[in-house]
Amino acid sequence: MTTAPDDRTPIDPSDAAPSREPQLVEGDCTIPLSADVDPSAWPEPVQALAHAPGSGVRPTRLAELTTLRVGGPVGSYVEATTQSELTEAIREADAAGTPVLVVGGGSNIMASDAGFDGLVIRDARAEVSLVSDSMCGGVEVTATAGTTWDDLVCEAIASQWAGFAPLSGIPGTVGAAPVQNIGAYGAEVAELIASVRAWDRLRNRVVWLALGELGLAYRDSRLKQSLTDAEAGGGRLWGPTGRWVVLDATFAVRQGSLSSRVAYSQLAGALGVELGERVPERELREAVLELRRSKGMVLDDADHDTWSAGSFFTNPILTTAEAERLPADAPRFPVTDHSQVVLGTKEAPVVEGLVKTSAAWLIDHAGFTKGFTVEAGAPAGLSTKHVLALTNRGGATGADLARLRDTVVAGVRERYGITLVPEPVQVGF
């Protein structure tokens, strides 16, 4: 078992090479993290990750790198298998004034047909390590940014690192998790994460960002804001990849096989328990995956409902006065502030005067049904299982998806006066 040093001093990537010890597990989540067995005894998927993190195939179009399967030509391309390869590629591109797009799983990108005339970097580093198990009833675990998120969830369940199960099945990589503050079924990564180590493009160095410095909010963070906000980016705009490029993330969680309290009514119903109860993490994961499959939210090449970027629009956050103008049956949820997280418990206080509503409810009640297309036979449409997902029905272009996006946004705005905000990074639009 790999133990990482407990040194939080910012380091230069040239100071130490990252561990090459493979530690991912197969999808059944039954094998705990262990490097005490011969690699030949590991499952085949783990061996593949150990010996060849990258496929060696150079993509020519962004469509090959995104789950929406749209996007035009790729300019230059680098697949980084070490931290130094990743940071040097970014440093050189920034010095030359070349735009940079760092790609993980490609599940949160909507790319235009014009493609990306810059450097596309795929982070192929997939490693998980135990930092410390000396916490009172807890552990600290670090995963590189290129690690597939659901592989980390599987590892956590097998090793009894509690709290990850509600986030099962979310596509993408660890690097995107703190940028988006990914969440599902009543949980957010803000409740698990302790710190992020990132490459700061402004300062050209590796930095540590503690939980309180990440500015985590609903599907938002200081990292994400630096894409489009010059103030957050240190005085400049950075484009589709922000000022801070995540290198790895450290999670502080409790040790145990039981989940956190079930906080989502649909999930509680699927489990046959009351809200607030705890269940085995493995059972919670299976229930979450079943719910996600029913909505087309688990990637499946044969199912066009999964040719998507997941939930395409964020749930709008409204003032109390704005929320009062919605119909009485419109969903209303509290808004929490993770920038004011309570130390020791990671509980975030509720923000007074703000209300979150459901983007899916707004879309549905604005007249957009499951399977909606702008015109008959259009190759882009809403999922047949869930109106919040925009999907490629086969052969769609970025322009087709953009037309569908704009149609839905305009319809909801006309009906409710609310402008929906896309969650995926928009490249080339």
Summarize pLDDT for 373-397 with one digit per residue, the tens: 999 999 999 999 999 999 999 999 9
Tell me if 36 is assigned to some domain. no
Residue range 124-135, pLDDT digits in tens: 999 999 888 766
- Give the pLDDT of residue 339: 64
Query: Is 402 contained in some domain?
Result: yes
CATH number at residue 418: 3.90.78.10
Q: Which residues of 139-156 are buried (b: 16+ CB within 10 A; e: fewer)?
A: bbbbbbbbbbbbbbbbbb
Positions marked catalytic: 219, 311, 423
State how far Cα 94 lies from the chain centre. Answer: 25
What pLDDT, on the 0 to 100 scale, is given for residue 41? 40
**In the predicted model, is pLDDT for residue 36 greater than 80?**
no
Cβ count within 10 A of residue 99: 17
Q: Is residue 3 part of a domain?
A: no
The mean per-residue pLDDT over the stretch 121-145 comes to 89
40-49 CB contacts, 8 Å cutoff, 24+ apart: 46/22, 47/22, 49/22, 49/24, 49/126
Q: In terms of Cα–Cα distance, which of 116, 177, 95 is closest to 142?
A: 177
d(CA 258, CA 251): 17
Length of the chain: 429
Query: What pTM, to 2 d.p., does this model score?
Result: 0.83
Residue 134 lies inside a defined structural domain of this protein: no
Mean pLDDT of the chain: 86
CA 291 to chain centre: 18
Which among 411, 172, 203 has a CA at the least distance from the CA of 311?
172
**Range with the lowest mean pLDDT among 3-17, 168-182, 400-414?**
3-17
Establish if 174 belongs to a structural domain.
no
60, 120, 142, 241 from 74: Cα distances, Å: 5, 7, 31, 15
Print the domain residue range for 366. 304-427
Share of the chain above pLDDT 70, in %: 84
CB 89 within 8 A of CB 99: no
Total domain count, the chain = 1
| Position 389 in a domain | yes
Asked, for residue 173, whether it belongs to a domain, the answer is no
Q: Is residue 17 part of a domain?
A: no
Element (H, E) at 89: helix 83-96
Location of structure tokens 């086969």:
394
Cα separation, 319 vs 105, in Å, equals: 34
